[in-house]
């Protein structure tokens, strides 16, 4: 990959400042910006932003060692500039002095000429003291793994040190590009042949009957069959959700938290003639369900409503199957969405577990007798997963758990957990409940 340009660096600083200071999603910002960039420029910008935010806790610990006093909130852009410069030196192997000179000069583009000497001095100190400084920073294990302390502690408390170490290591890898082949159009073997013919290296992952992993940094709209809807992008662990729902033709099915529609599309690919309702309370995200499905040549009945306010959206007709892909901390997918480690707060977890339970209780009333509800999260915290299910089962007389007979992930007291990195997939949790 060619070295980052001044424009890349400035774009990246602006985006990361919006993430850190304003809580914006890096994925959204990047998607918008990449539309006007060619493949190479888009890839470079992604490398710089994803990389710097992924390692930002470690980089921030380095910056703290270099500065006499912390930067003010209104100078978040200068802090981010320093992270990025360090990221280029440590992880992209951009020549040291090119980085120092370029980033010191960027303070002028940020209209912060006063910071030029500070950037220049800090980066030069880093180069002089690098080995000792990194040793000091990495002695602090959450910083070494680039994680907030609360997240680090919570994973160790749930899974023990050994498994937690593997979770942390996986979270700092770059996520592979995994596709779900649209079986309504072609088989996975046929699609693999098309990739081979196009000279694109690919393989089958452990999980997901329709999953293909593409090597290298291909942009998805340049892969064969993109316009024709031959595939969707979806991690292999996420591809288990629709398989566990296992919809049968003619069934009435609810996808309760559907946007942006990754699993909605899969449900329809598995059984195109189900009577499916896709619900989500976020109008903007719901529009993306439409966009994603129309490329796949599929359509679905959609409703924008709070799933827990049943009178707003339910017509009283019960569902044979409900997928609750619950809002969660998303701590199982930090390798794919590295900004989550910055955006998520410790205090979010209580609110999320309350919402998860509320959604379960409400949606349960819409499940037909003998019907099933698949509960899914992309979290690794027991509080959002098996503990939510345990409490629900204890309080709900007509609910029982269906065993997931599988060789993937880990069997929990209820449901199964895939930890990040297991089967080279994202972290996901699944449980299946049946109404008696
Ligand atoms: C994990 S994401 C769903 C991902 C989606 N199933 C997919 O595969 O593409 C959770 C979704 O829940 C939605 N959500 C959060 N609270 C909700 C509520 N009270 N009612 C309905 N949807 C809600 C969010 O807008 C978000 O789109």
pLDDT at 216: 81
Backbone dihedral angles phi then psi of residue 182, each to the nearest 5 degrees: -80, 100
pLDDT at 3: 80
| End-to-end Cα separation, the chain, in angstroms | 57
Answer yes or no: do 215 and 122 share one domain: no
Active-site residue (options: 257, 328, 378, 412) = 378
pLDDT of residue 38: 86
Clarify whether 412 is annotated catalytic.
no
The verdict on 323 and 366 lying in the same domain is yes
Q: 200: domain CATH number? A: 3.30.70.1170
| Beta strands at 367-377 and 319-325: parallel, antiparallel or unpaired | parallel
Whole-number Å distance between alpha carbons of 253 and 335: 31
Q: Give the per-residue pLDDT at 140.
A: 95
Question: Cβ neighbours of residue 43 under 8 Å, at least 6 residues apart?
Answer: 1, 217, 219
What does the pLDDT read at residue 9?
Answer: 96
Position 388 scores a pLDDT of 98
In a domain? residue 416: yes
Map 326-339 to HEC letters.
Answer: CCCCCHHHCCCCCC
Measured CA distances, 293 to 86, 122, 146, 302 (Å)? 41, 50, 36, 11
Distances 182 to 230, 252, 256 between C-alpha atoms, Å? 5, 21, 22
The answer to the question of residue 154 being in a domain is no
Spacing, Cα 16 to ligand 1 middle (Å): 25
| CATH assignment at residue 59 | 1.10.940.10
CA distance 68 to 125: 12
User: 160 in a domain, yes or no?
Assistant: no
Model pLDDT, residue 384: 98
293 and 312 co-located in one domain: yes
Report the residue among 256, 290, 327 best suited for mutation to probe ligand 1: largest number of ligand atoms under 8 A from its CB: 327
Q: What domain count does the chain have?
A: 3
| 198 plus 114 within the same structural domain | no
State the Cα–Cα distance between residues 230 and 296, nearest whole angstrom.
Answer: 7
Cα 205 to middle of ligand 1, angstroms: 26
**Euclidean distance between CA atoms 262 and 259, whole angstroms:** 7
- Which of 186, 204, 233 represents a domain boundary (last residue)? 233
Same domain for 255 and 207? no
> Residue 219: its pLDDT value, please?
81
How remote is the CA of residue 280 from the centroid of ligand 1, in Å? 6
Q: Which of 146, 167, 201 is the last residue of a domain?
A: 146
Q: Are 382 and 421 part of one and the same domain?
A: yes
Q: Which atom of ligand 1 is nearest to the CA of 286?
A: 27
Residues 218 and 342 in one domain: no
Cis peptide before 260 (omega within 30 of 0): yes
Cα(224) to ligand 1 centroid in Å equals: 30
pLDDT at 392: 98
Atom of ligand 1 lying closest to residue 323 CA: 6
Q: Which residues contact 312 (CB under 8 A, 6 or more apart)?
A: 305, 306
Ligand 1 atom nearest to CA at 377: 1
Residues 293 and 414 grouped into a single domain: yes
- Alpha-carbon Rg of the chain, whole angstroms? 23
One-character DSSP codes across 253-309: EEETT-TT-HHHHHHHHH-TTSEEEEEES-HHHHHHHHHHHHHTT---EEEES-TT-
pLDDT of residue 40: 86
Same-domain pairing of 213 and 295? no
In-domain check, residue 51 = yes
Q: Do residue 328 and residue 181 come from a single domain?
A: no
Pair (249, 358) in one structural domain: yes
Residues 39, 101 within the same domain: yes
**Is residue 98 situated within a structural domain?**
yes
Provide the domain limits for residue 184. Answer: 177-233
Q: Establish if 310 belongs to a structural domain.
A: yes
Q: Would residue 162 count as lying in a domain?
A: no
Question: What tens digit of pLDDT does each residue of 198-250 get?
Answer: 999 999 999 999 999 999 877 888 899 999 999 999 999 999 999 999 999 99
Burial 121-151 (b: 16+ CB within 10 A, else e): ebbeebeeeeeebbeebeeeebbbbbbbeeb
Last residue of a domain, one of 89, 124, 146: 146
pLDDT at 218: 75
In sequence order, the 6+-apart residues with CB closer than 8 A to the CB of 52 are 12, 16, 59, 80, 83, 84, 87
Strand boundaries in 107-208, DSSP class E: 177-181, 202-203
Dihedral angle at the C-alpha atoms of 73, 78, 84, 89, nearest 10 degrees?
Answer: -130
Cα distances from 260 to residues 27, 99, 233, 416, in angstroms, run: 13, 38, 12, 24
Residue closest by Cα to atom 15 of ligand 1: 327
- Residues lining ligand 1, Cβ inside 6 A: 257-263, 279-282, 285, 306-308, 325, 327
pLDDT in tens, the chain (436 residues): 778 888 999 999 999 999 999 999 999 999 999 888 888 889 899 999 999 999 999 999 999 999 999 999 999 999 999 999 999 999 999 999 999 999 999 999 999 999 999 999 999 999 999 999 999 999 999 999 999 999 999 999 999 999 999 999 999 999 999 999 999 999 999 999 999 999 999 999 999 999 999 998 778 888 999 999 999 999 999 999 999 999 999 999 999 999 999 999 999 999 999 999 999 999 999 999 999 999 999 999 999 999 999 999 999 999 999 999 999 999 999 999 999 999 999 999 999 999 999 999 999 999 999 999 999 999 999 999 999 999 999 999 999 999 999 999 999 999 999 999 999 999 999 999 999 9
Residue 375 corresponds to which tokens in the numbers above?
């509960």
| Domain at 244, CATH number | 3.40.50.150
Burial class (CB in 10 A: 0-12, 13-18, 19+), 57: buried
Residue 171 lies in a domain: no
Ligand 1 closest atom vs CA 263: 8
Distance (Å) from CA 291 to ligand 1 centroid: 16
């Amino acid at each position: 990959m060619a070295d980052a340009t001044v424009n890349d660096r400035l774009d990246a600083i602006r985006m990361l400042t919006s993430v850190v200071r304003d809580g914006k999603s890096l994925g959204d910002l990047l998607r918008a910006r990449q539309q006007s960039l060619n493949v190479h420029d888009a890839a470079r910008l992604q490398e710089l932003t994803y990389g710097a935010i992924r390692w930002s806790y470690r980089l921030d610990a380095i910056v703290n060692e270099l500065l006499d006093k912390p930067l003010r909130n209104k100078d978040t852009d200068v802090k981010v500039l320093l992270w990025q410069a360090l990221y280029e030196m440590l992880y992209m192997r951009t020549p040291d002095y090119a980085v120092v000179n370029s980033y010191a000069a960027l303070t002028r583009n940020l209209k912060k000429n006063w910071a030029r000497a500070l950037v220049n001095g800090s980066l030069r100190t880093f180069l002089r003291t690098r080995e000792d400084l990194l040793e000091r920073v990495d002695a602090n294990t959450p910083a070494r793994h680039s994680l907030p302390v609360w997240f680090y502690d919570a994973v160790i408390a749930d899974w023990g040190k050994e498994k937690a170490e593997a979770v942390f290591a996986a979270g700092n890898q770059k996520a592979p590009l995994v596709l779900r082949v649209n079986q309504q159009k072609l088989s996975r073997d046929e699609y693999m042949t098309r990739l081979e013919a196009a000279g694109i290296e690919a393989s089958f992952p452990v999980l997901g009957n329709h999953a293909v992993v593409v090597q290298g940094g291909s942009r998805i709209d340049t892969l064969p069959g993109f316009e024709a809807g031959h595939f969707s992008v979806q991690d292999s662990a996420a591809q288990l959700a629709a398989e566990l729902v296992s919809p049968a033709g003619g069934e009435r099915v609810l996808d309760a938290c559907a946007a942006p529609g990754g699993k909605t599309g899969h449900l329809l690919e598995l059984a195109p003639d189900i009577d499916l309702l896709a619900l989500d309370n976020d109008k903007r995200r719901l529009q993306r369900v439409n966009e994603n499905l129309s490329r796949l040549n599929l359509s679905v009945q959609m409703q924008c409503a709070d799933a827990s306010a049943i009178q707003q959206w339910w017509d009283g007709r019960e569902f044979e199957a409900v997928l609750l892909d619950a809002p969660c901390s998303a701590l199982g997918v930090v390798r794919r969405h590295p900004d989550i480690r910055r955006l998520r707060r410790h205090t979010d977890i209580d609110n999320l577990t309350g919402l998860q339970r509320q959604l379960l209780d409400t949606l349960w009333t819409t499940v037909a007798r003998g019907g099933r509800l698949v509960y899914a999260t992309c979290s690794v915290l027991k509080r959002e997963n098996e503990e939510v299910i345990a409490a629900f089962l204890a309080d709900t007389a007509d609910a029982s758990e269906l065993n997931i007979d599988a060789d993937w992930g880990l069997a929990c007291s209820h449901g199964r957990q895939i930890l990040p990195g297991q089967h080279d997939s994202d972290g996901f949790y699944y449980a299946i409940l049946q109404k008696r």
